[in-house]
């Protein structure tokens, strides 16, 4: 999807939550401007791919001029936004007419997401450091999963003025249960059943592509 959107023409890309790294950087054509926006200045300091760094809360204000960006994107960030509707309005404002939003994020009803929402944040972070020693001890941020389901995100983006062009669902989520083989096997069977029944709200991850209509300003 990123390759299709970034067709080789230099452009301006806003990577929301682009703290430690910008996953979109590998797809950006030469000569593009990559703006990394994050609420944490410490996280942004670790990003060596961005051409510009902006510290801000994307749900309150994106300090960029109207119609100044060609692509707004994020990777595993939506679940950490406390108000996706407000963010969508901000993104709509800074996008040029015909500009695109491309986001990948977990579904709020995936098993691991439900567990993450039930457990206190500190406990969740501790468990991740115990079971997955390849993650840094400070891995993770508070997660809200606001609008993080196929139907809800499509409605939120439509209400903000976007035209949703593509929604891709990924049902794999057993990665989080590899530390215990019986649990992993059970999770795989669950995935297969949910996928066979096409239960969209129970998917693992969502990729959504939405466009600001051409000729439309804020």
Q: Burial letters for 143-166: b for 16+ Cβ neighbours within 10 Å, e otherwise?
A: bebbbbbbebbbebbeebbbebee
Report whether 77 contacts 87 (CB < 8 A).
no
Confidence (pLDDT) at 19: 84
What DSSP element (H or E) covers 69? strand 69-75
Domains of the chain in sequence order? 2-211 (3.40.50.150)
Do 101 and 77 form a contact (C-beta atoms < 8 A)? no
What averages of pLDDT result for each successive group of 10 residues across the chain (218 residues)? 90 93 92 95 93 95 96 96 97 97 97 92 79 68 94 97 97 92 95 96 97 80
Element spanning 112, H or E = helix 111-118
What is the dihedral sign for C-alpha 46, 47, 51, 55?
Answer: negative
The SS3 call for residue 133 is: coil
Query: Three-class SS of residue 104?
Result: strand
DSSP code of 120?
-
Q: Output the pLDDT for position 218.
A: 59
């Amino acid at each position: 999807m990123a390759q299709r959107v970034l067709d080789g023409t230099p452009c301006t890309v806003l990577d929301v939550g682009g703290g430690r790294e910008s996953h979109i950087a590998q797809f950006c054509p030469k000569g593009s401007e990559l703006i990394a926006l994050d609420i944490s200045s410490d996280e942004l300091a670790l990003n060596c791919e961005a051409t510009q760094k902006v510290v801000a809360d994307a749900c309150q204000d994106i300090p960029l001029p109207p119609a100044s960006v060609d692509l707004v994107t994020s990777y595993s960030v939506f679940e950490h936004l406390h108000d996706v509707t407000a963010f969508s309005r901000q993104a709509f404002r800074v996008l040029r007419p015909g500009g695109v939003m491309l986001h990948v994020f977990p579904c709020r009803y995936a098993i691991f997401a439900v567990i993450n929402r039930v457990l206190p944040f500190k406990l969740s972070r501790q468990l991740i450091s115990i079971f997955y020693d390849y993650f840094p001890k400070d891995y993770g941020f508070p997660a809200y999963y606001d609008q993080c389901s196929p139907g809800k995100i499509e409605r939120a983006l439509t209400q903000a003025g976007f035209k949703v062009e593509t929604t891709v669902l990924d049902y794999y989520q057993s990665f989080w249960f590899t530390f215990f083989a019986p649990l992993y096997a059970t999770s795989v069977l669950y995935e297969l059943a949910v996928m066979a029944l096409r239960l969209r709200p129970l998917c693992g991850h969502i990729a959504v592509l939405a466009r600001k209509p051409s000729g439309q300003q804020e």
